[in-house]
Amino acid sequence: MATDGWLAETRISYDTVAAGYADQVRDALDDKPYLRNVLTLFADLVRATGGGPVADVGCGPGHITAYLRDLGVDAFGVDLSPGMIEVARREHPGLRFAVGSMTELPLADASVAGLLAFWSVIHIPDELIPAVFAHFRRALRPGGPLLVGFHVGEGSRLKTEGYGGHPMKVHVHRRRPDQVAERLREAGFTVEATLTLSPYAEVPGGVVFARR
């Protein structure tokens, strides 16, 4: 899979579904107490290291960025899709959002106190995960916490229809928590915790806490 090809397809797909996706996830945390507490713990870890700017990488329409700000974290969002960033800026005008790819993360070295990738690495091919995690570590300050959320499972599938019935062409990759943890360790992170959410669901969720 050519890098430029899958990136362009992912960008175009999320530009197409941006408004419908925002409608679907706007209140997504309301009935997910475990996810809310995961984010609260992440915010606590950021504060415990002295606080500072926190990057929500793959922020989509900005709902998680806004939730972190409500928790008192200086969060800003980065997303591949200009359409998503347009929606995020419109729905959360007091927050900062920028277009950028996690494969070439537009953040200076050691510039963020924490970094979150909440179900956004699911479109990254396996062979590019080490480079993406290396970018995450480069951007984090020493001791800064990292939170990665993902679909748990094996293999990949091609998603051809998305939110609101719009056409998409994105590959969705599922990974085991131990795989994600091992890739983070290989990138130089200290893995502190792994969690599985809804373990008996068709597609469970996985969460890994790590530290630079």
Q: Where are the domains of the chain?
A: 3-211
Q: What pLDDT, in 10s, does the model give residues 107-165?
A: 999 999 999 999 999 999 999 999 999 999 999 999 999 999 999 999 999 988 877 77
Bridge partners (DSSP) of residue 55 are: 76, 115
Chain mean pLDDT for the chain: 94
Question: Rounded distance, CA 79 to CA 102, Å?
Answer: 8
Q: How far is CA 124 from the centre of its chain?
A: 11
In contact, 164 and 13? CB cutoff 8 Å: no
Among the ranges given (13-22, 30-39, 126-135, 148-157), the one the predictor scored with the smallest mean pLDDT:
13-22
Token pair 């419109």 is at which residue?
A: 90
Q: How are the residues of the chain apportioned to helix, strand and coil, as percentages rounded to the nearest 5?
A: 40, 25, 30
Q: Are 118 and 147 spatial neighbours (Cβ–Cβ below 8 Å)?
A: yes
CATH superfamily of domain region 3-211: Vaccinia Virus protein VP39 (3.40.50.150)
Least confident of 62-71, 82-91, 98-107, 158-167: 158-167
Question: How far apart, in whole angstroms, are the C-alpha atoms of residue 26 and residue 5?
Answer: 29
Q: In the chain, pLDDT over 70 holds for what percent of residues? A: 98
- Give the distance, in angstroms, between the CA of residue 53 and the centroid of all CA atoms in the same chain: 16
Contact 32, 195 (CB under 8 A): no
How confident is the model at residue 1, as a pLDDT? Answer: 42
pLDDT at res. 167: 82
- pLDDT > 60? residue 74: yes
Place of tokens 């890994």: 208
Count CA within 13 A, CB hemisphere, residue 194: 16
Mean pLDDT (whole number) for 12-41: 93
Residue 104 pLDDT greater than 70, yes or no: yes
| Residue 2 banded pLDDT, cuts 50, 70, 90 | very low
3-state secondary structure at position 168? strand
Q: Is it the case that residue 72 has pLDDT exceeding 90? A: yes
Instruction: Report the range of poorest mean pLDDT among 23-27, 68-72, 75-79.
Output: 23-27
